[in-house]
Amino acid sequence: MKNLQAKKNRKRLTVWAVLTVLVLIILLVFRITKPGSMDESFQFIALILITGCIFELWLILKTNNRTFRLAFFVGFFSLLLLGWVSGAVGIIGSENNPENQFYWGVPLIIFFGSFLSRLKPEGMKFTMISAAVYQFLIPVAVLFNSPEVFWGNAGVVGVFILNLFFSVLFIISALIFKRVN
């Protein structure tokens, strides 16, 4: 038992050391390349810290059920990919387009849904479905609310396809959560 705990602590230390180095690199790079503009760096740092928190969550999950872990991984990977795409290049137009701020609602839905459901598979299924629906409705809301918005090179259809892609990933996670015993 002590050996297992020591191994878990070594993993924790390694992950947090790597994440700390990444945060320091981001701060240094943004300080050198874009002095005075720290908004982007804080978004990337938030994603890195969220990754660390998810890792901690992964370690303390009380289930050894592989199906649950697979569902969790698919949802987490989808969320990380969404954050990366939205933060790096933007989904609706460029990353500077204010409509891209709507995408921060997806991690909030998943965070609060996970918290409220206490990571129970049934609750996580509904959380991921909620994230998928919200994800798909973002461009619908932007289209009806701000028809003059710049959609970028992908255009309206491309943005809808990309949102559908992320929604499908969240639905896949929900379907895997449904299979957890």
What are the mean pLDDT values of the chain's consecutive 10-residue runs (181 residues total)? 73 87 85 69 82 77 77 92 86 84 93 90 96 96 81 84 96 96 75
CA distances from 89 to 79, 86, 93, 94, 95 (A): 15, 6, 8, 6, 5
Cα(134)–Cα(90) distance, integer angstroms? 17
Question: Do residues 178 and 121 lie in contact, with contact meaning Cβ atoms separated by under 8 Å?
Answer: yes
Question: Tokens 């996970």 label which residue?
Answer: 114
Q: Check residue 50 and give its pLDDT.
A: 85
Count how many residues are written for the chain.
Answer: 181
pTM, whole model, 2 decimals? 0.71
Q: Where are the alpha helices (DSSP H) in 61-152?
A: 66-88, 105-117, 121-145
Question: Do residues 173 and 123 lie in contact, with contact meaning Cβ atoms separated by under 8 Å?
Answer: no
CA distances from 122 to 39, 86, 131, 141, 180 (A): 37, 28, 15, 28, 9
Q: Check residue 136 and give its pLDDT.
A: 96
